[in-house]
Amino acid sequence: MIGEVSFPPGRSTSGCCERCPLDFDPTAFLADPHLLSALTQSAVPVACERERILFRQGDVPAMLFILHQGRATLTMNSAGGEKVLTVPVAAGSLLGLPGLVGNQPYTLTATAHAGAQVSAVSRDAVMTLMRSDPAVSLNVLKVLAAEVRSARQAIG
């Protein structure tokens, strides 16, 4: 059980779970139009008529997911299975990018809500695109930097 949490002035739980004082910026995962366009050329649609788990925390990264419209949520569980973080993400977000680029297991679980428009791009396609187009690589770095910045701001 987590003890009582005091919130710093100006902080809320709006981007996180009820017991967590972290407030993440849901726009931190957004890609610019050039990057979205480049990735979408290699993307395949993902059916989300009902809520759908796109990837789970601990899975080996195989795909990058693009949330085109609708809602999705990123969650993190403790080693004991308790949900410790919930972050809503905005349309235009790239889901799974840190794991995919770093070739490390996903650190979060991504869930697309019913009716969301999502597509997936294979890891190989993303890596090929990054090697062949420096602008894509730079934009991927910008998204990763925004994610890191958002996490740091939420903590501090």
Average pLDDT along the chain, 156 residues, taken 10 residues at a time: 29 43 63 92 96 97 97 93 89 94 95 98 97 94 85 70
Of 26, 108, 95, which Cα lies nearest the Cα of 64? 95
What is the structure's pLDDT at 22?
A: 54
- For residues 86, 22, 93 and 50, what is the CA-based torsion angle, rounded to 10 degrees? 10
3-class SS of residue 76 = strand
Whole-structure pTM value:
0.81
What is the structure's pLDDT at 154?
A: 67
Q: Which amino acid is at 83?
A: K
What is the structure's pLDDT at 16?
A: 45
What is the structure's pLDDT at 25?
A: 61
Residues 6+ apart with CB under 8 A from 128: none
The full set of domains in the chain, from first to last, is: 26-150 (2.60.120.10)
What is the structure's pLDDT at 64?
A: 97
For residue 4, give both structure tokens: 């009582």
3-class SS of residue 49 = coil
What is the structure's pLDDT at 13?
A: 37
